[in-house]
């Protein structure tokens, strides 16, 4: 396929900067999750830098800034939970993305959640799916760490519409058929 058939052109690529990378990556739609750690370091954080890594053995990854409270929480706890957000959970996603929210157990007050049976990580009610992960590896790169988790528990909810992040804003997926 050439540019004439798609109506687009590739302009001269320029050196990447933090702002140009942010602008370009805003064109890549991602799912929205809330990462969580229970116990002594209880904490939640909205993240869209999340992906499956392997089916055998089951593993996923998440990327967390070194400066984030979640970075220290995952490192100390050695495990984390993942709530894959349903489209109607935009308010929760915004709450756990707000750097001004209360920290510690208070941030979960008034929120419907259950502790994961394997890790104790808070799993948010109403999510599309949930994972519990044991930290398997961590890779430092730039200002983030890539945490790889072995999935030790997985479950899906009944929701049919996912929450996405695209173009610098929350969006919704097209509902799944029955």
Answer CATH for 16-172 from 3.40.47.10, 3.40.430.10, 2.60.40.1120, 2.30.110.10: 2.30.110.10
The predicted model gives 90-103 an average pLDDT of: 96
The mean predicted confidence, pLDDT, of the chain is: 91
Q: Give the residue from 123, 134, 109 showing the smallest Cα distance to 157.
A: 123
Q: What is the pLDDT of residue 4?
A: 55
Q: The whole model's pTM is what? A: 0.89
Sorting pLDDT into bands at 50, 70 and 90, what band is 8?
low
Residue 5 has pLDDT above 90, yes or no: no
Q: What digits encode the pLDDT tens for the residues 23-33? A: 887 777 889 99
């Amino acid at each position: 396929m050439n540019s004439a058939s798609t109506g687009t052109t590739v302009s001269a690529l320029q050196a990447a900067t933090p702002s140009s990378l942010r602008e370009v990556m805003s064109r890549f739609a991602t799912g929205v999750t809330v990462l969580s750690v229970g116990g002594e370091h209880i904490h939640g954080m909205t993240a869209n830098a999340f992906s499956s890594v392997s089916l055998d053995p089951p593993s996923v990854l998440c990327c967390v800034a070194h400066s984030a409270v979640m970075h220290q929480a995952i490192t100390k706890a050695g495990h984390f939970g993942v709530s894959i957000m349903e489209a109607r959970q935009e308010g929760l996603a915004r709450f756990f993305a707000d750097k001004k929210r209360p920290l510690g157990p208070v941030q979960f007050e008034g929120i419907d959640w259950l502790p994961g049976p394997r890790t104790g990580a808070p799993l948010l009610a109403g999510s599309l799916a949930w994972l519990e992960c044991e930290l398997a590896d961590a890779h430092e790169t730039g200002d983030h760490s890539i945490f790889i988790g072995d999935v030790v528990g997985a479950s899906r909810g009944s929701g049919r519409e996912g929450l996405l992040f695209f173009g610098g804003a929350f969006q919704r997926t097209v509902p799944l058929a029955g």
